[in-house]
Amino acid sequence: MKWPKTSIYSASKFGVRGFTQGMAKEYEKSNIRFYAVNPDLTATAMTDFEGVHPNKVAKIIVRTAKEDLGKKSGDDVDTKDYL
């Protein structure tokens, strides 16, 4: 396994998805929107700088915040779909 002992990290990512969906439902009658951005492998110290450059991921996060992706509140945004 290339990145051992990542079960806690993976579980927390899954928790963020559930939290995002719950908040979207809770605030569906407001103008507040919630999205879970799921970066693909991103070039950081955790990945030995393998993967997509963080600037590319950041641009997708900005597009998400601007609601340029046609997603509804509570949706996942998989960065690999926008690279």
CB 58 within 8 A of CB 33: no
Q: What is the pLDDT of residues 17-40, one digit of tens each?
A: 999 999 999 999 999 999 999 999
Domain residue ranges of the chain, discontinuous segments joined by +: 7-82
Q: What is the mean pLDDT of residues 39-63?
A: 95
CB 40 within 8 A of CB 80: yes
> How does residue 6 score in pLDDT terms, banded at 50, 70 and 90?
confident
The mean of the pLDDT values for the chain is: 94
pLDDT above 70 for 3: no
Q: What is the mean pLDDT of residues 9-21?
A: 94
Q: Which amino acid is at 74?
A: G
**Whole-number pLDDT of residue 1:** 57
